[in-house]
Amino acid sequence: MPELPEVETIKRGLQDKIIGKVIQAIDVLGPRRLIGKREDVVGRKILAVDRRAKVLRVQLSGGTNLLFHLKMTGQLIYRPEIRNTKYEIRDSFAGGHPSHDWHADLPNSATRLVFTFDDKAKLFFNDLRMFGWCKVLTDEQVAKIFMDEYGPEPIDSDSGQALPDFTVPYLAAQAKRLPRRKIKQFLTDQKIIAGIGNIYADESLFAARISPLRPVKEISPLEWQNLRQSVVEILGLAIKNRGTTDSDYVDSEGKKGGMQNFLKVYRRDGQPCPENCGGLIERITLGGRGTHYCPACQK
C-alpha cells in the first residue's frame, strides 16, 4: 500500500495533468465502484488536487470532491485523447500498483471507473482486488472525515520541515492515552499520525534506535525527540526520491521511485545490520504486519 511519500508523488503528477479540466462523463463499471452520486460530479471543473495521509482529494467546483484511496492494488492511469502512439506515451502517466495495465488497452477487467474530460482525455481508476475506493463528498464531509479519522501530518511536503502540530508534547500526550501500545503500532495508527505505514515506521524506528516492540510508556522524552526527527527526515528523503518501489508501487509517471536504495531495514531480513553492530536484521509479525528491525541496535 502506498504511504505518504508515494501518494504525495502521485498527487503532484495529477496536479500537472488534470487541474482545470471539466469532467464530461463517468463510466461506472460494476456496483458500488463509485460511492456517491454520479450527477454530483459530471459537469464539475477540477480546481485542485491534494493529499491527506494516504488519501488523494480531487476538489471540484460547486463544493464537491472525489476522494481516492488506492489500498493494495489501486491504480490511477491518465491518458490524453489518443492521436498517435508517440503522443499517448509522452503525455500519459500511471500511479499505484504496477502491472501491464500501464500500456495495455483500457478499460480492462480491473477498471472500476473511467472519467472522461472535456478535452477527451481520460482518467482510469483500476483496482484488481477491489480494496480501494472512490467517494463523492461535499467540502463539509471531507473536512469532518479528515479531522475525525486522521491525526496531524508530520511533514510539510514542499519544505521537508516538521509541521507545527507534530510535536514531542503531542506524541507524549497520545502515548499517555495508550500506554501499552507498541511503538510500531502507535506510529502506523492514522488517527495519531497521518500517512505513515510499514516501510517508514520501520525505517524511522531504526534511525531512532528504538525497538518496534517497546510499549510507548517506556519511551523517554529524548527518544520521542529523536523519533520525531527521524520520522521527518525519513519522510523528507522518501518524498525527494519519489517514494519506494516495492512490489506494488510506481510513481505518477509510471516510473520507479528511488527510496528503496536508502532503506536500512525494510525487507532486509537476514542481512547484516548496516551499522556494522554485528547483528542481523529480523522480520517479525506485529499487529498482523511484517516488521523489520535490528535487535542489536534497537532497544
Q: Would you name the residues annotated as active-site residues?
A: 2-3, 54, 289
What are the residue ranges of helices labelled H in the chain?
A: 4-18, 85-91, 139-149, 168-177, 183-187, 198-208, 221-240
Q: In angstroms, rounded to a whole number, what is the distance separating the alpha carbons of residues 267 and 260?
A: 10
Q: How far apart are CA 299 and CA 95, in angstroms?
A: 37
The CA-based angle 263-221-216, given to 5 degrees, is 70
Look up residue 239 and give its three cell numbers: 518524498
DSSP type of residue 215: B
| Lookup result for grid cell 500506554 | 179
Query: Which of 195, 247, 226, 248 is CA-nearest to residue 75?
Result: 248
Instruction: Give the C-alpha separation, 87 to 97, whole Å.
Output: 23
Q: Side chain identity at 259, as an amino acid letter?
A: M
Rounded CA-CA distance 116/113 in Å is: 10
Cα separation, 220 vs 43, in Å, equals: 54
d(CA 95, CA 93): 7
Helix count and strand count (H, E) for the chain? 7, 11
What are the beta bridge partners of residue 272? Answer: 280
Q: In this structure, how many other beta carbons lie within 10 angstroms of the beta carbon of residue 108?
A: 14
Q: How many CB atoms lie within 10 A of CB 84?
A: 7
CA distance 169 to 8: 27
* CA–CA gap between residue 203 and residue 111 (Å, rounded): 34
